[in-house]
Amino acid sequence: MAFSTISGIAILGAGLFVGEAYLPALATLGSISPSLKAVYSRSEKSSSETAQNATRILGLPSSPDIYFDGDHPNNLDGLLRRPDIAAVIIALPITIQPNIVMKCLLAGKHVLSEKPVAPDVARGLKLLRDAEPICQQGGLVWRVAENFETEPVYRAAGEAVRSGKIGNVLFFKASVVNYIDKTSKWYKTPWRTVPDYQGGFLLDGGVHTIAALRTILPESFTHLSGFASLNKEYLLPHDTIHCVVRAGSSYHGIVEMTFASPTKSIPASENIVITGSKGWLACNSTSEGFKMVIKFVEEMSKSGEEKEYKEEEKIMLFPGKGVETELAAFFDDIVTQGTGKSALDVGNPRNALKDVAFIEAALNSKGNLIDLVGLVQASS
Protein backbone atom coordinates (compact mmCIF):
# COMPACT_ATOMS: atom_id res chain seq x y z
CA MET A 1 0.00 0.00 0.00
CA ALA A 2 1.46 3.37 -0.97
CA PHE A 3 0.39 6.25 1.19
CA SER A 4 1.96 8.75 -1.18
CA THR A 5 -1.53 9.28 -2.58
CA ILE A 6 -2.00 11.44 0.55
CA SER A 7 -0.92 14.84 -0.74
CA GLY A 8 1.27 15.86 2.17
CA ILE A 9 1.62 15.84 5.94
CA ALA A 10 2.79 18.22 8.66
CA ILE A 11 4.20 17.63 12.13
CA LEU A 12 2.96 19.90 14.92
CA GLY A 13 5.50 19.83 17.74
CA ALA A 14 9.27 19.84 18.09
CA GLY A 15 9.78 17.85 21.27
CA LEU A 16 11.90 14.83 22.08
CA PHE A 17 9.37 12.33 20.80
CA VAL A 18 9.24 13.94 17.36
CA GLY A 19 13.00 13.73 16.92
CA GLU A 20 13.48 10.36 18.56
CA ALA A 21 10.39 8.46 17.44
CA TYR A 22 8.28 10.08 14.70
CA LEU A 23 11.04 11.11 12.31
CA PRO A 24 12.89 7.76 12.50
CA ALA A 25 9.57 5.90 12.08
CA LEU A 26 8.65 7.98 9.01
CA ALA A 27 12.14 7.24 7.67
CA THR A 28 11.52 3.51 8.12
CA LEU A 29 8.31 3.77 6.08
CA GLY A 30 10.50 5.26 3.36
CA SER A 31 9.10 6.27 0.02
CA ILE A 32 5.66 4.85 0.74
CA SER A 33 5.20 7.56 3.38
CA PRO A 34 3.40 10.77 2.35
CA SER A 35 5.82 13.67 2.09
CA LEU A 36 6.49 15.87 5.09
CA LYS A 37 5.80 19.39 3.86
CA ALA A 38 5.70 21.48 7.01
CA VAL A 39 6.69 21.61 10.66
CA TYR A 40 5.05 23.79 13.33
CA SER A 41 6.29 24.64 16.80
CA ARG A 42 5.65 27.56 19.13
CA SER A 43 9.10 29.04 18.55
CA GLU A 44 10.88 29.70 15.26
CA LYS A 45 14.08 28.18 16.65
CA SER A 46 12.64 24.77 17.56
CA SER A 47 10.55 24.67 14.39
CA SER A 48 13.58 25.28 12.18
CA GLU A 49 15.72 22.83 14.16
CA THR A 50 13.10 20.13 13.74
CA ALA A 51 12.82 20.90 10.01
CA GLN A 52 16.60 20.54 9.70
CA ASN A 53 16.54 17.25 11.60
CA ALA A 54 13.68 16.01 9.43
CA THR A 55 15.60 16.87 6.28
CA ARG A 56 18.57 14.87 7.53
CA ILE A 57 16.69 11.89 9.00
CA LEU A 58 14.26 11.54 6.08
CA GLY A 59 16.85 12.41 3.44
CA LEU A 60 14.54 15.06 1.96
CA PRO A 61 15.63 16.99 -1.16
CA SER A 62 14.60 20.25 0.54
CA SER A 63 13.62 21.31 4.04
CA PRO A 64 9.94 21.23 5.06
CA ASP A 65 8.48 24.74 5.53
CA ILE A 66 8.55 26.09 9.05
CA TYR A 67 5.62 27.58 10.96
CA PHE A 68 5.61 29.16 14.42
CA ASP A 69 3.51 31.40 16.67
CA GLY A 70 3.12 35.09 15.94
CA ASP A 71 1.18 37.56 13.87
CA HIS A 72 2.51 36.53 10.45
CA PRO A 73 1.48 34.24 7.56
CA ASN A 74 3.70 31.39 8.75
CA ASN A 75 1.74 30.66 11.92
CA LEU A 76 -0.42 27.59 12.55
CA ASP A 77 -3.41 29.10 10.73
CA GLY A 78 -1.18 29.61 7.70
CA LEU A 79 -0.14 25.96 7.80
CA LEU A 80 -3.73 24.78 8.14
CA ARG A 81 -4.82 26.84 5.12
CA ARG A 82 -2.52 24.83 2.83
CA PRO A 83 -4.55 22.51 0.57
CA ASP A 84 -1.47 20.36 -0.09
CA ILE A 85 -1.38 19.23 3.55
CA ALA A 86 -4.00 16.54 4.10
CA ALA A 87 -2.98 15.23 7.50
CA VAL A 88 -1.22 16.42 10.64
CA ILE A 89 0.65 14.58 13.37
CA ILE A 90 0.26 16.43 16.68
CA ALA A 91 2.81 15.99 19.46
CA LEU A 92 2.28 19.04 21.65
CA PRO A 93 1.99 19.48 25.45
CA ILE A 94 -0.92 17.51 26.94
CA THR A 95 -3.11 20.42 28.01
CA ILE A 96 -3.02 22.35 24.74
CA GLN A 97 -3.63 19.35 22.47
CA PRO A 98 -7.46 19.18 22.65
CA ASN A 99 -7.84 22.72 21.25
CA ILE A 100 -5.30 22.07 18.50
CA VAL A 101 -6.97 18.78 17.55
CA MET A 102 -10.26 20.68 17.09
CA LYS A 103 -8.57 23.47 15.13
CA CYS A 104 -7.01 20.96 12.71
CA LEU A 105 -10.22 18.98 12.22
CA LEU A 106 -12.16 22.20 11.61
CA ALA A 107 -9.56 23.06 8.97
CA GLY A 108 -10.38 19.74 7.26
CA LYS A 109 -7.19 17.87 8.17
CA HIS A 110 -6.92 14.22 9.19
CA VAL A 111 -5.37 14.06 12.66
CA LEU A 112 -3.06 11.73 14.55
CA SER A 113 -2.68 13.19 18.07
CA GLU A 114 -0.36 12.02 20.84
CA LYS A 115 -1.66 10.20 23.89
CA PRO A 116 -3.14 10.94 26.36
CA VAL A 117 -6.22 12.00 24.37
CA ALA A 118 -6.88 14.73 26.98
CA PRO A 119 -5.58 15.75 30.42
CA ASP A 120 -8.69 14.35 32.14
CA VAL A 121 -11.93 12.52 31.41
CA ALA A 122 -14.09 15.67 31.44
CA ARG A 123 -12.00 17.39 28.78
CA GLY A 124 -11.70 14.11 26.85
CA LEU A 125 -15.47 13.67 26.75
CA LYS A 126 -15.93 17.25 25.57
CA LEU A 127 -13.31 16.78 22.85
CA LEU A 128 -15.00 13.58 21.65
CA ARG A 129 -18.40 15.28 21.62
CA ASP A 130 -17.03 18.19 19.58
CA ALA A 131 -14.78 16.20 17.26
CA GLU A 132 -16.87 13.19 16.30
CA PRO A 133 -19.54 15.05 14.28
CA ILE A 134 -16.83 16.99 12.42
CA CYS A 135 -15.01 13.77 11.52
CA GLN A 136 -18.27 12.25 10.32
CA GLN A 137 -19.39 15.24 8.26
CA GLY A 138 -15.94 15.87 6.76
CA GLY A 139 -14.93 12.24 6.21
CA LEU A 140 -11.93 12.87 8.43
CA VAL A 141 -9.80 10.36 10.28
CA TRP A 142 -8.82 11.19 13.87
CA ARG A 143 -6.71 8.69 15.72
CA VAL A 144 -4.82 8.86 18.98
CA ALA A 145 -1.20 7.74 18.74
CA GLU A 146 -0.94 5.01 21.38
CA ASN A 147 2.11 3.09 20.31
CA PHE A 148 1.73 0.34 22.93
CA GLU A 149 -1.55 -0.63 21.29
CA THR A 150 0.27 -1.22 18.00
CA GLU A 151 3.42 -2.79 19.48
CA PRO A 152 3.71 -6.25 17.86
CA VAL A 153 4.43 -7.95 21.22
CA TYR A 154 1.13 -6.83 22.77
CA ARG A 155 -0.85 -7.63 19.63
CA ALA A 156 0.70 -11.11 19.57
CA ALA A 157 -0.02 -11.53 23.29
CA GLY A 158 -3.65 -10.54 22.68
CA GLU A 159 -3.94 -13.07 19.85
CA ALA A 160 -2.38 -15.80 22.00
CA VAL A 161 -4.85 -15.12 24.81
CA ARG A 162 -7.88 -14.96 22.51
CA SER A 163 -6.88 -18.17 20.75
CA GLY A 164 -6.93 -19.99 24.09
CA LYS A 165 -3.18 -20.66 24.49
CA ILE A 166 -3.43 -20.11 28.27
CA GLY A 167 -7.04 -21.29 28.64
CA ASN A 168 -9.56 -18.95 30.23
CA VAL A 169 -8.10 -15.78 31.72
CA LEU A 170 -8.19 -15.95 35.53
CA PHE A 171 -6.09 -12.99 36.69
CA PHE A 172 -3.38 -10.55 35.59
CA LYS A 173 -0.80 -8.09 36.80
CA ALA A 174 1.17 -5.17 35.44
CA SER A 175 4.19 -3.73 37.14
CA VAL A 176 6.04 -0.61 36.04
CA VAL A 177 8.89 0.71 38.17
CA ASN A 178 10.81 3.73 36.92
CA TYR A 179 13.63 5.89 38.14
CA ILE A 180 13.41 9.57 37.21
CA ASP A 181 15.85 12.15 38.49
CA LYS A 182 16.02 15.85 37.74
CA THR A 183 18.59 15.28 35.01
CA SER A 184 16.29 12.95 33.04
CA LYS A 185 15.69 14.35 29.56
CA TRP A 186 11.98 13.68 30.00
CA TYR A 187 11.93 15.54 33.33
CA LYS A 188 13.66 18.51 31.72
CA THR A 189 10.84 19.04 29.20
CA PRO A 190 9.35 22.21 30.77
CA TRP A 191 5.75 21.03 30.63
CA ARG A 192 6.72 17.81 32.39
CA THR A 193 8.85 19.52 35.07
CA VAL A 194 5.88 21.49 36.41
CA PRO A 195 2.88 19.62 35.02
CA ASP A 196 -0.46 21.40 34.83
CA TYR A 197 -2.34 18.11 34.54
CA GLN A 198 -3.25 15.32 36.96
CA GLY A 199 -0.80 12.54 37.72
CA GLY A 200 2.34 13.97 36.09
CA PHE A 201 4.38 11.08 34.69
CA LEU A 202 1.65 8.65 35.81
CA LEU A 203 -0.73 10.12 33.25
CA ASP A 204 1.84 10.66 30.50
CA GLY A 205 3.52 7.26 30.88
CA GLY A 206 0.85 5.26 32.66
CA VAL A 207 -1.68 5.31 29.83
CA HIS A 208 0.78 3.19 27.81
CA THR A 209 0.64 0.31 30.28
CA ILE A 210 -3.14 0.45 30.49
CA ALA A 211 -3.33 0.46 26.68
CA ALA A 212 -1.04 -2.60 26.57
CA LEU A 213 -3.27 -4.44 29.07
CA ARG A 214 -6.45 -3.58 27.19
CA THR A 215 -4.84 -4.80 23.95
CA ILE A 216 -4.03 -8.17 25.53
CA LEU A 217 -7.11 -8.81 27.68
CA PRO A 218 -10.22 -10.04 25.89
CA GLU A 219 -12.60 -7.96 28.03
CA SER A 220 -12.66 -4.32 29.18
CA PHE A 221 -11.89 -3.01 32.65
CA THR A 222 -15.01 -2.41 34.71
CA HIS A 223 -13.99 -1.47 38.27
CA LEU A 224 -10.96 -0.16 40.13
CA SER A 225 -9.94 0.59 43.68
CA GLY A 226 -6.57 2.13 44.36
CA PHE A 227 -4.27 4.44 46.24
CA ALA A 228 -1.94 7.14 44.98
CA SER A 229 0.98 8.92 46.58
CA LEU A 230 3.80 11.39 46.01
CA ASN A 231 7.20 10.19 47.18
CA LYS A 232 9.63 12.46 45.35
CA GLU A 233 8.50 16.05 45.70
CA TYR A 234 9.86 17.06 42.27
CA LEU A 235 7.49 14.57 40.60
CA LEU A 236 4.35 16.47 41.65
CA PRO A 237 1.41 15.89 41.80
CA HIS A 238 1.68 12.06 42.18
CA ASP A 239 4.34 9.50 41.33
CA THR A 240 2.96 6.15 42.49
CA ILE A 241 -0.31 4.24 42.18
CA HIS A 242 -1.42 0.78 43.23
CA CYS A 243 -4.76 -0.65 42.27
CA VAL A 244 -6.94 -3.71 42.18
CA VAL A 245 -8.94 -3.95 38.96
CA ARG A 246 -11.76 -6.04 37.55
CA ALA A 247 -12.16 -6.74 33.84
CA GLY A 248 -15.17 -8.31 32.17
CA SER A 249 -17.37 -10.23 34.57
CA SER A 250 -15.04 -12.84 35.91
CA TYR A 251 -11.42 -11.89 36.28
CA HIS A 252 -9.29 -9.36 38.10
CA GLY A 253 -5.73 -8.18 38.58
CA ILE A 254 -3.33 -5.73 40.12
CA VAL A 255 -1.56 -2.76 38.58
CA GLU A 256 1.39 -1.01 40.19
CA MET A 257 3.14 1.98 38.68
CA THR A 258 5.80 4.16 40.13
CA PHE A 259 8.22 6.76 38.84
CA ALA A 260 9.76 7.11 42.31
CA SER A 261 12.22 4.23 42.44
CA PRO A 262 15.11 5.36 44.67
CA THR A 263 17.60 3.44 42.50
CA LYS A 264 18.16 2.98 38.79
CA SER A 265 18.29 -0.77 39.29
CA ILE A 266 14.81 -2.11 39.88
CA PRO A 267 13.69 -5.32 41.60
CA ALA A 268 13.33 -8.22 39.14
CA SER A 269 9.74 -8.57 38.02
CA GLU A 270 7.79 -9.26 34.87
CA ASN A 271 6.16 -6.21 33.26
CA ILE A 272 2.85 -7.86 32.43
CA VAL A 273 1.61 -11.34 33.32
CA ILE A 274 -1.72 -12.80 32.24
CA THR A 275 -2.62 -16.05 33.98
CA GLY A 276 -5.19 -18.46 32.59
CA SER A 277 -6.58 -21.90 33.43
CA LYS A 278 -3.88 -23.66 31.35
CA GLY A 279 -0.85 -21.43 31.72
CA TRP A 280 0.49 -17.93 31.79
CA LEU A 281 1.94 -15.39 29.44
CA ALA A 282 4.48 -12.72 30.34
CA CYS A 283 5.70 -9.70 28.39
CA ASN A 284 8.93 -7.95 29.24
CA SER A 285 10.76 -5.16 27.57
CA THR A 286 14.40 -5.88 26.79
CA SER A 287 17.22 -3.69 25.57
CA GLU A 288 16.50 -4.76 21.97
CA GLY A 289 12.73 -4.75 22.04
CA PHE A 290 10.26 -7.05 23.73
CA LYS A 291 10.12 -10.65 24.90
CA MET A 292 7.02 -12.77 25.37
CA VAL A 293 7.09 -16.02 27.29
CA ILE A 294 4.18 -18.46 27.36
CA LYS A 295 4.16 -21.43 29.73
CA PHE A 296 1.37 -23.94 29.67
CA VAL A 297 0.59 -27.44 30.86
CA GLU A 298 -0.91 -30.32 28.93
CA GLU A 299 -4.63 -30.75 29.37
CA MET A 300 -6.21 -33.92 30.69
CA SER A 301 -6.47 -36.78 28.26
CA LYS A 302 -9.79 -37.44 26.49
CA SER A 303 -10.69 -40.20 28.90
CA GLY A 304 -10.49 -37.66 31.73
CA GLU A 305 -7.44 -39.19 33.33
CA GLU A 306 -4.71 -36.92 34.58
CA LYS A 307 -1.73 -37.01 32.20
CA GLU A 308 1.79 -36.80 33.49
CA TYR A 309 2.49 -33.15 34.37
CA LYS A 310 4.30 -31.61 31.44
CA GLU A 311 5.11 -27.93 31.08
CA GLU A 312 5.68 -26.38 27.68
CA GLU A 313 7.42 -23.11 26.99
CA LYS A 314 7.28 -20.78 24.05
CA ILE A 315 9.56 -17.73 23.84
CA MET A 316 9.18 -15.05 21.21
CA LEU A 317 11.19 -11.88 20.62
CA PHE A 318 9.75 -8.75 19.03
CA PRO A 319 11.37 -5.55 17.80
CA GLY A 320 9.89 -2.28 19.08
CA LYS A 321 7.80 -1.08 16.12
CA GLY A 322 4.83 0.63 17.72
CA VAL A 323 5.29 4.13 16.31
CA GLU A 324 5.99 2.92 12.79
CA THR A 325 2.95 0.61 12.93
CA GLU A 326 0.64 3.33 14.25
CA LEU A 327 1.75 5.78 11.53
CA ALA A 328 1.18 3.17 8.83
CA ALA A 329 -2.24 2.36 10.32
CA PHE A 330 -3.17 6.06 10.32
CA PHE A 331 -2.15 6.57 6.67
CA ASP A 332 -3.83 3.30 5.73
CA ASP A 333 -7.05 4.45 7.38
CA ILE A 334 -7.01 7.69 5.35
CA VAL A 335 -6.35 5.87 2.08
CA THR A 336 -8.85 3.03 2.57
CA GLN A 337 -11.64 5.23 3.93
CA GLY A 338 -14.88 4.45 2.19
CA THR A 339 -13.33 1.63 0.16
CA GLY A 340 -14.69 -0.99 2.54
CA LYS A 341 -11.20 -2.32 3.22
CA SER A 342 -10.57 -2.18 6.90
CA ALA A 343 -7.40 -0.74 8.35
CA LEU A 344 -5.78 -1.96 11.59
CA ASP A 345 -8.28 -0.92 14.26
CA VAL A 346 -6.09 1.05 16.63
CA GLY A 347 -5.98 4.61 17.92
CA ASN A 348 -9.70 4.88 18.59
CA PRO A 349 -10.08 8.05 20.72
CA ARG A 350 -12.83 6.39 22.79
CA ASN A 351 -10.40 3.64 23.82
CA ALA A 352 -7.69 6.20 24.52
CA LEU A 353 -10.15 7.95 26.84
CA LYS A 354 -10.60 4.69 28.77
CA ASP A 355 -6.85 4.71 29.48
CA VAL A 356 -7.10 8.26 30.86
CA ALA A 357 -10.16 7.22 32.92
CA PHE A 358 -8.17 4.36 34.44
CA ILE A 359 -5.37 6.66 35.63
CA GLU A 360 -7.83 9.31 36.81
CA ALA A 361 -9.74 6.69 38.80
CA ALA A 362 -6.54 5.38 40.38
CA LEU A 363 -5.49 8.91 41.37
CA ASN A 364 -8.86 9.74 42.93
CA SER A 365 -10.05 6.42 44.33
CA LYS A 366 -8.51 6.67 47.84
CA GLY A 367 -9.54 3.04 48.22
CA ASN A 368 -13.12 3.54 47.04
CA LEU A 369 -14.52 1.39 44.23
CA ILE A 370 -14.77 3.32 40.95
CA ASP A 371 -17.04 2.32 38.08
CA LEU A 372 -14.76 2.71 35.05
CA VAL A 373 -17.51 2.19 32.50
CA GLY A 374 -19.70 4.89 34.05
CA LEU A 375 -16.75 7.27 34.22
CA VAL A 376 -16.39 7.51 30.43
CA GLN A 377 -20.15 7.72 29.87
CA ALA A 378 -20.68 10.72 32.17
CA SER A 379 -22.59 13.42 30.35
CA SER A 380 -20.80 16.54 31.51
Q: Which of 46, 150 has the CB closer to ligand NAG?
A: 46
Beta-strand pair 279-285/251-258:
unpaired
Residues binding ligand NAG (CB under 6 A) = 14, 19, 46, 49-50, 53, 268-270, 282, 284, 291, 293
46, 58, 268, 361 from 34: Cα distances, Å: 23, 12, 43, 39
Q: Which is nearer to ligand NAG, 232 or 295 (CB)?
A: 295
Do the Cβ atoms of 269 and 261 come closer than 8 Å? Answer: no
Cβ nearer to ligand NAG, comparing 46 with 113 = 46
Query: Is residue 78 within a helix (H) or strand (E), and if so which, with residue range?
Result: helix 76-80
Q: How far is the CB of 289 from ligand NAG (least distance, A)?
A: 12
Extract the runs of DSSP E, i.e. beta strands, from 133-237.
142-145, 169-177, 221-229
- Distance between CA atoms of residues 220 and 211, nearest Å: 11
Sign of CA dihedral 257, 260, 265, 267: negative
H or E element that contains 148: helix 147-150
Comparison of 117 and 274: residue with beta carbon closer to ligand NAG: 274
For ligand NAG, give the closer residue by CB, 6 or 282: 282
Distance CA 102, CA 81 (A): 15
Task: Please state the closest distance from residue 53 (CB atom) to ligand NAG, in A.
Answer: 4
* Residue 41 CB, nearest approach to ligand NAG (Å): 8
Q: How far is the CB of 247 from ligand NAG (least distance, A)?
A: 22
From the list 51, 64, 371, the residue with the least C-alpha distance to 223 is 371
CB of 75 to ligand NAG, least distance (A): 18
CB of 269 to ligand NAG, least distance (A): 6
The residue among 50 and 325 lying less far from ligand NAG, judged by its C-beta, is: 50
